[in-house]
Amino acid sequence: MNLLDVIIVVGVVLGLFWGAKRGFIGILILVVGIIISIFLVNAFAEPLSDFFTKVGIAKNYSYGVSVLFILTIVFLIFFIIHALLKRVIDIFKIGIINRILGALLGAWIIFVLIGSLYYFFSRLPLINFKKFVRDSVVAKYSYIHAKNVMSLSGTDEQINKFIEGEEIQ
């Protein structure tokens, strides 16, 4: 067991506690909110930036203000959704199931997130990070799992293009 394995084990244990505290619904809403925020910022930040420039916000700040505006709106919407779903959970008395599933989801998210970082670092030519991953007991499974998840979305191709200095679309 090397340092990469220790990082994963500690991260997964922390993910278990984090997931149990937030619950399945809380983590699911957080993840969906982040994904939707990314798409909305991608789609609407530029037009909103132009609008903010027209209403008097300096061009240097208008893009940042538009991103902050979109993130705030998405946060408020998902905060309300979370509060409503939390009441439903309390009404149906399924809090323990929510916490157990949240612990599992939290651990899995941390497992994949750390594996994604390992995948990114293994692509960098500066260090022989891939050897550390191969020599580990747990990290190689996190690496493989993250690589499979990223290949579903095409993220692995984007990482390779970024590292090779190609234009990313």
Q: What is the pTM of this model?
A: 0.78
Alpha carbon distances (Å) from 69 to 40, 49, 60, 137, 158: 11, 10, 16, 44, 27
For residue 126, what pLDDT is reported?
Answer: 65
Backbone angles phi, psi at 142, to 5 degrees: -65, -40
- Taking the chain (169 residues) in consecutive chunks of 10 residues, what is each chunk's mean pLDDT? 89 96 94 90 90 89 91 95 91 91 96 88 76 83 82 72 64
Q: What is the reported pLDDT for 167?
A: 59
Contact 147, 49 (CB under 8 A): no
* pLDDT at residue number 153: 67
d(CA 23, CA 35): 19
CA 123 to CA 156: how far, in whole Å? 10
